[in-house]
């Protein structure tokens, strides 16, 4: 029988009794005679069909002075105290997570409340900050069927750390759209920094050539043309007059500042709506930035290009233009 549907009916009398919802005991009135017979009625677990009285079980009572609990009240759901360690997390040079312990608390959960959302809310109530729950490897615990229920949370060998959200770098669906542009900007800034370093090295080498190479020296024409292609303004097609402008949308040096400003000439929305002259990216004005540290290099490069004109019929640039070795 389903305990929730059981009741007692006096076989030879008019009385019917239901169990107390808290204690599960049947309280009999003083009018019930000693030795009275009761029929147990209720519904099956499987089909919830009432058992007819002729097949019910009869019981003898001990009288009103000695009530007997026929059905016990249901036990409350078991509760487990989950230890949460408040810590600061950082990763060492090999990428392994390292924790500095701050404090710890125990959060009581049942099988129904043993999940990431409930525990995170309880932590926030106590520590007044939003925390992410992570394991020993520093990876976040995601709320999913595998992390719901006591079976996951009462494992003694698994330590659970609470780390402030901004320190874990955990991405949520709501934050991905905001973080993606930030990641792109960091990548562009890193590439621009690397490009500036490489150009600085080239600038020093070219300055050395200007200072020490004789006037009649010749350089390979392919190298000469490559320098022209790499450092020519994409608008006026001449060697860039500093300061130079870098375009983040196509990740290339765009040209002279005066040429770029002329290209995007206008005001307000008219200026912002113009496309990049190189990759045709929409609203590209906001993607431009000035490259610092190239002024000296571009000045030297202009001197080299002016000093070493080339002849299309020769394989070298510089010298007298006759093509003879000096």
pTM of the complete model beyond 0.75: no
CA 238, CA 232: separation in Å to the nearest integer? 5
Domain 178-318 carries which CATH code? 3.30.40.10
Greater confidence, 302 or 154? 154
CA 139, CA 131: separation in Å to the nearest integer? 13
Give the start-end residues of each E strand in the chain: 7-10, 16-17, 37-41, 58-60, 80-91, 97-109, 131-134, 160-164, 218-220, 244-247, 252-256, 288-291, 316-318
149 to 119, 199, 266, 292: CA distances (angstroms): 12, 59, 62, 57
| 129, pLDDT greater than 60 | yes
- Section 169-192 average pLDDT: 57
pLDDT of residue 321: 44
pLDDT of residue 297: 76
CA 107, CA 120: separation in Å to the nearest integer? 10
pLDDT of residue 160: 93
Contact between 147 and 115 under an 8 Å Cβ cutoff? The reply is yes
**Cβ-proximal residues to 45 (8 Å cutoff; 6+ apart), any chain:** 1, 2
Contact between 196 and 253 under an 8 Å Cβ cutoff? The reply is no
Q: Which DSSP string do the residues of 74-110 spell out, in sequence order?
A: PPPPP-EEEEEEEEEEEE-TT--EEEEEEEEEEEEE-
Highest-confidence segment of 116-130, 257-271, 302-316: 116-130
| 106, pLDDT greater than 50 | yes
What is the domain partition of the chain in residue ranges? 1-75, 80-168, 178-318
Greater confidence, 272 or 318? 272
Mean pLDDT in the chain?
74
The CATH number fitting domain 80-168, selected from 1.20.58, 3.30.160, 1.20.120, 3.10.20: 3.10.20
Map residue 162 onto helix, strand or coil: strand
- Section 193-208 average pLDDT: 72
């Amino acid at each position: 029988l389903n305990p929730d549907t059981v009741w007692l009916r006096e076989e030879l009398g008019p009385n019917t009794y239901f169990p107390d919802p808290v204690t599960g005991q049947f309280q009999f009135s003083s009018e019930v005679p000693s030795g009275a017979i009761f029929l147990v009625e209720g519904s099956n677990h499987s089909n919830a069909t009432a058992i007819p009285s002729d097949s019910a079980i009869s019981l003898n009572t001990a009288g009103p002075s000695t009530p007997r609990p026929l059905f016990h009240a249901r036990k409350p759901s078991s509760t487990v105290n989950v230890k949460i360690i408040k810590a600061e997390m950082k990763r060492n040079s090999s990428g392994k997570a390292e924790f500095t312990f701050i404090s710890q608390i125990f959060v009581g959960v049942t099988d129904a409340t043993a999940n990431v959302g409930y525990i995170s809310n309880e932590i926030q109530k106590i520590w007044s900050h939003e925390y992410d729950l992570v394991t020993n490897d520093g990876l976040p615990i995601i709320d999913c069927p595998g992390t719901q229920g006591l079976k996951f949370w009462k494992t003694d060998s698994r330590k659970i750390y609470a780390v402030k959200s901004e320190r874990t770098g955990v991405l949520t669906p709501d934050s991905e759209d905001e973080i993606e542009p930030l990641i792109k900007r960091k990548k562009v800034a890193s590439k621009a920094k690397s490009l500036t370093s490489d150009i600085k090295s080239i600038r020093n080498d070219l300055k050395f050539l200007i200072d020490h190479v004789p006037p009649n020296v010749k350089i390979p024409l392919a190298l000469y043309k490559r320098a022209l292609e790499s450092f020519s303004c994409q608008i006026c097609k001449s060697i860039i007059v500093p300061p130079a402008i870098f375009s983040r949308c196509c990740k290339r040096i765009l040209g002279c500042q005066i040429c770029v400003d002329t290209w995007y000439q206008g005001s307000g929305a008219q200026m912002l709506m113009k496309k990049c002259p190189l990759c045709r990216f929409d609203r590209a004005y906001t993607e431009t930035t000035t490259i610092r540290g190239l002024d000296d290099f571009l000045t030297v490069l202009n001197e080299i290009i002016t000093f070493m004109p080339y002849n299309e019929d020769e394989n070298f640039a510089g010298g007298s233009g006759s093509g003879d070795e000096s």
